[in-house]
Amino acid sequence: MKIKGTFLDEISHDIPHQNWGREEWDRDFDFMKKAGIDMVILIRSGYKQWLTYPSRFLQKKMGSWEPPVDLVKMFLELSEKYDMAFYFGLYDSGKYWLQGDYEKEVEINHYVIEETWRSYGDMPAFKGWYLSQECSRRIKNIIPLYNRLGTHCKAVSDGLPVLISPYIDGPRNVSQYTTQARKESGIALDIHRKEWDAILQGIKEAVDIVAFQDGHVDMEDLEDFLRMNKSLADKHGLRCWTNSETFDRDMPIKFLPIKWEKLWRKLQLAEKTGIEQAITFEFSHFMSPQSAYLQAGHLYNRYLEYLNISHRENN
């Protein structure tokens, strides 16, 4: 099992910014490529007032601020340079989505999808879409929200694939803004199966790929959830990946690069259950040799050894 894609976390809720410019990002794409990554996914194109590209619509409609650099254009250019596919992540209002006003969230993102495609759709590396409104359960209106967003992405782009990366309501599904690392219990497997059976049934025409995050459940339960996720995706005709998180949810500090043995075991379990491939959240902070976290570069070296590639040749 290999990590073939990574999220780009340029508008983060909870991860410190590394303040990279084009030179650092170019170097990081090179590190990714040497580790076999051929796909990057912008986790969100904007959040509240913060933007990754100079969206005239969002500046006018949401009072968003013009960014100093057009990161979407830069990521697309670097993706083309390193022969990678780029998936565009939608906008998170940080408001309507949280309030359950899915109609407003969809309306805003319809304009974002159209604006984005007009601006960047002719760039060769633009290969798909990511629905950034993540969930773990069958919350109210999640099916129509995914349906309307995914359908519109496909309509404007002549059918480019749509990816979602939900999480599992396991014992580690706790707020990042507390010192708590886990709750008493997580969702039972049969309830997870029932709810996601209904969700995937409802969105299978609008979404192509589902990559569940793998860090919210205990390691001893992960195989059962991975196997269930693969079974549900197969049933409804979706491709099934795993989002193998490269940060550690067990530590009292949120968040640090994961211990290699944990990542290795998670990749083993994904392979054992027949999952197609892995993506990760996320390479640049938690796995890159130039990350602000020193141990991220060591994780990169261990991963190259796992791939049987000499890290001395790639650093």
CATH number for the domain spanning 69: value is: 3.20.20.80
Residue 315 has pLDDT above 70, yes or no: no
- Alpha carbon distance 258, 266 (integer Å): 11
Phi, psi of 268 (to 5 degrees): -60, -45
Q: Do residues 264 and 236 touch, judged by C-beta distance below 8 A?
A: no
pLDDT of residue 250: 86
What's the half-sphere exposure (Cβ side, CA atoms, 13 Å) at 305? Answer: 10
- Alpha carbon distance 5, 217 (integer Å): 22
Residue with tokens 């076999």: 36
DSSP per-residue string spanning 106-144: HHHHHHHHHHHHHHHTTSTTEEEEE-----SS--TTHHH
pLDDT-above-90 percentage for the chain = 80
Q: Do residues 155 and 143 touch, judged by C-beta distance below 8 A?
A: no
State the DSSP code for 67.
P
Q: Do residues 125 and 84 touch, judged by C-beta distance below 8 A?
A: yes
Q: Show the domain range for 161.
A: 3-314
What residues have CB less than 8 Å from 23, skipping those under 6 apart?
Answer: none
Please state which of the ranges 73-77, 134-138, 216-220, 276-280 shows the lowest mean pLDDT.
Answer: 134-138
Q: How many structural domains are present in the chain? A: 1
Residue 139 has pLDDT above 90, yes or no: no
Q: E strands of 124-249, at which residues? A: 126-130, 162-164, 209-213, 239-243, 247-248
- Alpha carbon distance 218, 222 (integer Å): 6
The pLDDT tens digits for 262-305 are: 999 999 999 999 999 999 999 999 999 999 999 999 999 999 99
Sign of the dihedral through C-alpha 175, 8, 85, 159? positive
What are 174's two structure tokens? 């706790």
Model's pTM, two decimal places? 0.95
What residues have CB less than 8 Å from 268, skipping those under 6 apart?
Answer: 1
Residue with tokens 């949810």: 249
What's the half-sphere exposure (Cβ side, CA atoms, 13 Å) at 131? Answer: 35
The pLDDT tens digits for 50-81 are: 999 999 999 999 999 999 999 999 999 999 99
- Alpha carbon distance 140, 126 (integer Å): 31
The pLDDT tens digits for 234-247 are: 999 999 999 999 99
